[in-house]
Structure 1
Amino acid sequence: MAAQRPCNGGSWPDLPSELLGLVLLRLPSHGDRVRLRAVCRPWRSSARLERKLLPPPLPWLFLPDGAFLTLPDGAAHRRLAIPGDVAHLVPTGSGLLLAHNDGMFSLMNPSSSATTPLPDLAAVFHGEIKCKYPDTAFQLGQRRITPIIKAVVSEHFIAFYFNSSKVIITSGQPHTVVKWSPPDSSYILDIALFQGKLYCLTFDIKNCQEELYILEVRDEEPMVSDVKCIHSTPRDVGDEDEAWFNPHSTDRYTFHRYLVADGDRLLMVARWINLNLPPMLPRDSSIKRTRRFDVFEAVDLSSEHGRWIKVDTLMGHSLFVSESCSESLTAGAEEDCIYFMNDGITNRIPKDPLSDSGVYNMRDGMVAPLMPETAVTEHLAAHDGPWFSTWLFPTET
């Protein structure tokens, strides 16, 4: 019998770039993609070539102690090296805005922990925020509450909204400040960047209706050049502050709303939260339970007849919503699903930062766990700390 000839196949480092791209497409986790690139230099070069063809990686779930969990496995990873002099922390999508005790600001890249000083922001927030902690900042247990609820970063400006009462927009070098507030009877629910404009969702207490303001910021000079407002109350959504009562049911609900840019659509996501407490919980528990979501699209925004229409599909996309950071993903996550987490300072259970989190399926109305039960029981109790949980959306580097 003739001797068997050795295999002449190439080695693993010689894997064609196209095949490596197919492997990367099946790795929705940012960490897994980073580990693949680290195997060898040829793979790192090939991965760089394929990077533009990949969908964005799944987000990280930032935990109160600065560590983060990855989806979908729920694995806990390193704590971010947040400097000890940080008084407040605000997510910006792919980064973290840090407010330091001395009044200075910096931007952290969660992937590398590198920070970039933002010296001009100190003047922007002069008189708006007191950074020294803990003497002049609020505390809830150990959590640090910042008046900056959300930060939105565009190519031309950065927008912040404060305590549901005002939007601060900074543009240019050196930074110049523009401030905008809704009418006296309204307060801010959320802001979002959509097609180059800043959108602000408010609630009018007097008329019990949502209002969508369109703030167009000029490039030439830092000013709000055009403000339009859509007065419309989507069906099935109740008052923000008052619990919604159904006379035929013992359930009581309140609502959270989020603005999310989803491709060429601007969506308002309404979250129904049941205020009833299970009998086994103490009456002073602040736990709430999300029951369902309704999604509305803003249409005819360029005309005087803008309105909301209810939609039943996310077109195969997925949404990740939270008070401080919401995004849409086109691939990698469960299609037509809304990923949500514990929201708001009154919803804190110290040993369970995911007490009201999950994945809501738009197709069947069911809520599934956000991550495996083993991840919750084994990891989360050890990650209590001063920050609030939020989504982080790492970028490919």
Structure 2
Amino acid sequence: MRINGECSLMNPFSKAKIDLPKLATVWRQGCSDVNSDINPLFYKVVVPSPLDSSPESLVVVMILDSGNWSTVCICQPPFATDLFREEIMGQSQLYDVVFFNGKLYGLAFGDMLVVFEISYDLGNKPKIASTECVVINFWVPGWPQHLSSKGAYSFRTRHYLVECCGRLLTVKRFIHKDNPYSTSLLFEHDRTVGFDVFEADLSTNPGQWRHVNKLGGQALFVGRHGSKCFAAEEYNGIQEDCIYFMCDSPWPDCPADPLRDSGVYNIRNGMITPLLSETAAVLQHHSGQWFPTWIFPTDSI
């Protein structure tokens, strides 16, 4: 997003670019109170397949605002064609969205998996025709057993949706506050201590979450702006059945080390190893608010 509010998608490898609508302006137009002091905080962009510059290109943007509302914006670049900003089963927040088998899914508060049915009007513009909760039950109470010695008050969680080898997975990240009484930066003492992985079983009605304790040789890379799986044997240095993660907390003020809460989690034994060696240089920054993110290779934008 540029200073004037204009947005675009760019492939960092090919430098190909597609212009998007001014997402902050589109989000504001969907608000019931345009004078509200609530503002958009976070944007995630997903596409059903590699993008091209054709007029039929489809882009979906999830916008999380400071009021904990999530807005789903449907785009045919450079125009927004529809907005969805309604409660789902009484909840207003989506944790994540992803395309899976050609359909748009969202993970809502309370571990509900929602499918958005996208249709096209007479002008061939994409719209959200309906929503349906396909997994409603809460998957597992509490947290992984190896974390049970820590008090529940000191945990918070983050959730990700990942398509992996024909399966739709949700990854639940457990973050422990080492010093809950600290008066320093809000998330300075947060450290990731474990993960749980579940597969959406959509063969039942309603669907169910099934616990996953191995990834079949895959590695998951998770983050707020995008998550993906890779076959470990195809890439040197990637560990199978592991989850790669980086710091993605909504910092009010950024630390000097943006990789402070990063690592590699082995779902077989629950061990976390550093993402970088101790001798690796730590990126430093002096101003502005920014976060590290994964960049995945692709043949098109």
- Structure 2 length normalisation: TM-score? 0.77
Describe how 1:211-290 pairs up with structure 2 within 5 A: 211-219=112-120, 220-229=124-133, 230-237=135-142, 249-250=150-151, 252-277=154-179, 283-285=183-185, 286-290=188-192
- Quick one: distance in 1 between partners of 2:194 and 2:295? 23
Map of 2:45 onto structure 1: 151
Q: Which amino acid aligns with 1:177?
A: D
CA contact (8 A) 1:189 1:202 kept: yes
Higher relative contact order (CA closer than 8 Å, sequence separation 6+): 1
- Structure 1 segments (4+ residues) deviating >6 Å: none
Q: Which amino acid aligns with 1:270?
A: K
Map of 1:372 onto structure 2: 277
Describe how 1:62-73 pairs up with structure 2 within 5 A: none
1:342-394 Cα shifts (integer Å, max 9, x gaps): 1222386521111111000011110000011111xx33235865422111112
Residue 105 (structure 2) pairs with residue 199 (structure 1): yes
**Pairwise CA RMSD of aligned residues?**
3.1
Following TM superposition, by how much is the alpha carbon of 1:199 offset from its aligned partner in structure 2, in angstroms? 0.5
CA contact (8 A) 1:270 1:294 kept: yes
- Quick one: distance in 1 between partners of 2:17 and 2:77? 17
- Quick one: distance in 1 between partners of 2:105 and 2:86? 13
Per the alignment, do residues 217 and 274 of structure 1 end up closer, same or farther by CA in structure 2, a change over 3 Å counting?
same
Map of 1:87 onto structure 2: none
1:9-62 Cα shifts (integer Å, max 9, x gaps): xxxxxxxxxxxxxxxxxxxxxxxxxxxxxxxxxxxxxxxxxxxxxxxxxxxxxx
Q: Which amino acid aligns with 1:368?
A: T
1:299-328 Cα shifts (integer Å, max 9, x gaps): 025x53211111101111010111121111
CA contact (8 A) 2:259 2:282 kept: no
Following TM superposition, by how much is the alpha carbon of 1:170 offset from its aligned partner in structure 2, in angstroms? 1.8
CA contact (8 A) 1:166 1:182 kept: no
What are the ranges of 5 or more consecutive residues in structure 1 without an aligned counterpart?
A: 1-98, 131-137, 139-144, 204-208, 239-244
Q: Which amino acid aligns with 1:186?
A: S
Per the alignment, do residues 250 and 196 of structure 1 end up closer, same or farther by CA in structure 2, a change over 3 Å counting?
closer
Q: Which amino acid aligns with 2:47?
A: V
Map of 1:390 onto structure 2: 293
Map of 1:305 onto structure 2: 206
Following TM superposition, by how much is the alpha carbon of 1:265 offset from its aligned partner in structure 2, in angstroms? 0.6
CA contact (8 A) 2:27 2:71 kept: no
CA contact (8 A) 1:148 1:160 kept: no
Per the alignment, do residues 395 and 215 of structure 1 end up closer, same or farther by CA in structure 2, a change over 3 Å counting?
same
Give 3-state SS (helix, strand or coil) of 2:284's partner.
helix
- Quick one: distance in 1 between partners of 2:286 and 2:227? 23
Tell me which protein shows more helix as a share of its residues: 1
- Quick one: distance in 2 between partners of 1:349 and 1:188? 24
Per the alignment, do residues 128 and 173 of structure 1 end up closer, same or farther by CA in structure 2, a change over 3 Å counting?
closer
Per the alignment, do residues 382 and 129 of structure 1 end up closer, same or farther by CA in structure 2, a change over 3 Å counting?
same
CA contact (8 A) 1:351 1:384 kept: no
- Quick one: distance in 1 between partners of 2:172 and 2:79? 38
Following TM superposition, by how much is the alpha carbon of 1:150 offset from its aligned partner in structure 2, in angstroms? 0.8
Residue 92 (structure 2) pairs with residue 186 (structure 1): yes
- Quick one: distance in 2 between partners of 1:116 and 1:278? 44
Sequence identity (%): 34
Q: Which amino acid aligns with 1:369?
A: P
Following TM superposition, by how much is the alpha carbon of 1:224 offset from its aligned partner in structure 2, in angstroms? 2.1
Describe how 1:1-397 pairs up with structure 2 within 5 A: 99-112=1-14, 114=15, 116-118=17-19, 121-122=21-22, 126-128=25-27, 147-155=41-49, 156-163=57-64, 164-171=69-76, 175-183=80-88, 184-203=90-109, 209-219=110-120, 220-229=124-133, 230-237=135-142, 249-250=150-151, 252-277=154-179, 283-285=183-185, 286-300=188-202, 303-331=204-232, 332=235, 333-346=238-251, 350-375=255-280, 378-381=281-284, 385-395=288-298
Q: Which protein is bigger by CA-based radius of gyration? A: 1
Give 3-state SS (helix, strand or coil) of 1:350's partner.
coil
